[in-house]
């Protein structure tokens, strides 16, 4: 799959694996974001004055996003509260992980949790957080993968007084499954 020149430039700027590159809102305004990220942003932007609520996002968007607690402790991402059945994180870590009653409220990779935490902290302060993430991780079966994706994290109301952080994650390129090491 050939990448758009804008993504090639971003990938070169992101640098080595396990890095996060923060983007400005003009990335969205210029139409550079992936389709589902752009659709997610549009709903958020159109409803920003009234603080968007979860029902304003279409079902097709809700099933592709994750929702986390509106708090962040330590150096890790906030706990996951809901995982969309068709979200990128399910594609990476598997439906078994997402549906498990024993499933922790985070991804199975602590290093990834620390790497992506600053974006959540920024969104907690009220600013949408838009990033490109390039990371190497493993699923529950130990299969190694490389990921390159964009994500947008925004605060969203789920009740009159309760908010969560919603995240839309869209792959820039397909998951690169790595061969098992001998």
Q: What is the pLDDT of residues 2-51, one digit of tens each?
A: 445 554 555 455 456 799 999 998 999 899 999 999 999 999 999 988 78
Domain span at residue 148?
5-176
Q: Tens of pLDDT along 121-159?
A: 999 998 899 999 999 999 888 899 999 999 999 999 998
Q: Is residue 152 part of a domain?
A: yes
Q: Is residue 182 part of a domain?
A: no
Other C-beta atoms within 10 Å of 31: how many? 8
pTM: 0.89
The span from the CA of 83 to the CA of 10, in Å, is: 27
Q: What pLDDT score does 9 carry?
A: 55
Q: Is residue 148 part of a domain?
A: yes
Q: Is residue 62 part of a domain?
A: yes
Q: Is residue 169 part of a domain?
A: yes
Q: Is residue 84 part of a domain?
A: yes
User: How many domains would you assign to the chain?
Assistant: 1
Query: What is the DSSP-derived secondary structure letter of residue 3?
Result: P
- Judge whether 172 and 151 are in contact, CB under 8 Å: no
Instruction: Read off the tokens for 78.
Output: 């906030």
Q: Is residue 181 part of a domain?
A: no
What residue ranges in 2-90 does DSSP mark as E strands?
Answer: 19-23, 65-68, 80-83
Q: Is residue 80 part of a domain?
A: yes
């Amino acid at each position: 799959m050939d990448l758009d020149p804008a993504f090639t430039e971003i990938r070169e700027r992101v640098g080595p694996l396990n890095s996060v590159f923060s983007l400005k809102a003009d990335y969205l305004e210029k139409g550079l974001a992936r389709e589902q990220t752009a659709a997610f942003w549009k709903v958020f932007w159109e409803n920003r004055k009234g603080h968007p609520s979860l029902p304003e996002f279409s079902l097709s968007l809700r099933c592709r996003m994750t929702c986390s607690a509106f708090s962040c402790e330590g150096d890790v991402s906030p706990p996951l509260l809901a995982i969309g059945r068709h979200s990128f994180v399910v594609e990476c870590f598997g439906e078994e992980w997402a549906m498990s009653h024993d499933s922790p409220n985070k991804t199975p990779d602590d290093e990834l949790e620390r790497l992506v935490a600053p974006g959540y902290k920024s969104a907690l302060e009220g600013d949408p957080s838009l990033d490109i993430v390039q990371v190497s991780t493993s699923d529950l079966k130990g299969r190694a993968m490389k990921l390159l994706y964009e994500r947008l994290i925004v605060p969203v109301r789920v009740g009159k007084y309760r908010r969560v952080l919603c995240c839309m994650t869209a792959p820039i390129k397909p998951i690169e499954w790595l061969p098992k090491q001998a």
